[in-house]
Structure 1
């Protein structure tokens, strides 16, 4: 079986140089933004409009917002306020993906050379990891996943 190479990355705690070098070295062709909030000033170089420009100009990489993989606002707020544990948040997020039927609504080819973007610096407690693992389980293990850190 041919695998589809997909990666994930978070921009927090990374300089622009490190961030763009990781994407270049992984031969990423498309950044798939799965953030709920991608226009905040706190995002620095990773604000949606700036990131779209920088990816295109520096790397020739396409930028696509994938809102169907973003968490719901209320769910994310409850987790950030510590009203939910990570395990509860992860379960709620996976249920959300199932309700949205993302595996049926997204084309697997979109992920070929794609990189899911979120803010968390590491994938362990980030919904981008949950999203890509969920899709891989529904797509019969077609995805070969790497996390750029």
Structure 2
């Protein structure tokens, strides 16, 4: 099983959709807390659902169980919480949510976890992918 991750920031639409098309992924899973902001540009929910289908032949869904809480994200974004603390708190949040038991692995085979960060280094999508891979086993995580 492959589980991909991607961020849209610092990518043009051509780069972003080119990466999605070039890997065999079938589902785009939006893990953002807020996916309708004007700052999301071409990745606003309704536009992204259309583009994923039309340009990449992919389905789209918004998965809030993998999103950080509003409080957690705000504390990190406003600099009140260092990355290491945020990462630990996020992992505890998805552990408490029991995402490994409430999400079905077959729905994530060849799926792409989406968020805004340009790289996976300081991003919850990487943490979520690694968490699910460890819980489910047999999952290869690929960062686009």
The TM tier, using the shorter chain, reads over 0.9
Match of 1:108 among 105, 120, 131: 105
Instruction: Give me the whole-angstrom Cα distance separating, in 1, the residues matched to 2:4 and 2:55.
Output: 19
Q: Secondary structure at the match of 1:38?
A: coil
How much does 1:66 deviate?
0.7
Counterpart in the other structure of 1:99: 96
Give the alignment's Cα RMSD to 1 decimal: 0.6
Aligned positions, number: 144
**Structure 1 residue ranges (4+ consecutive) displaced by more than 4 angstroms after TM superposition:** none
- Confirm or deny that 1:64 pairs with 2:83: no
Match of 1:34 among 14, 17, 31: 31
Match of 2:141 among 131, 138, 145: 145
Gap regions ≥5 residues in structure 1: none
How much does 1:139 deviate?
1.1
Q: Secondary structure at the match of 1:32?
A: strand
Instruction: Give me the whole-angstrom Cα distance separating, in 2, the residues matched to 1:60 and 1:26.
Output: 12
TM-score after normalising by structure 2: 0.98
Instruction: Give me the whole-angstrom Cα distance separating, in 1, the residues matched to 2:77 and 2:23.
Output: 30
Instruction: Give me the whole-angstrom Cα distance separating, in 1, the residues matched to 2:110 and 2:22.
Output: 12
How much does 1:16 deviate?
0.4
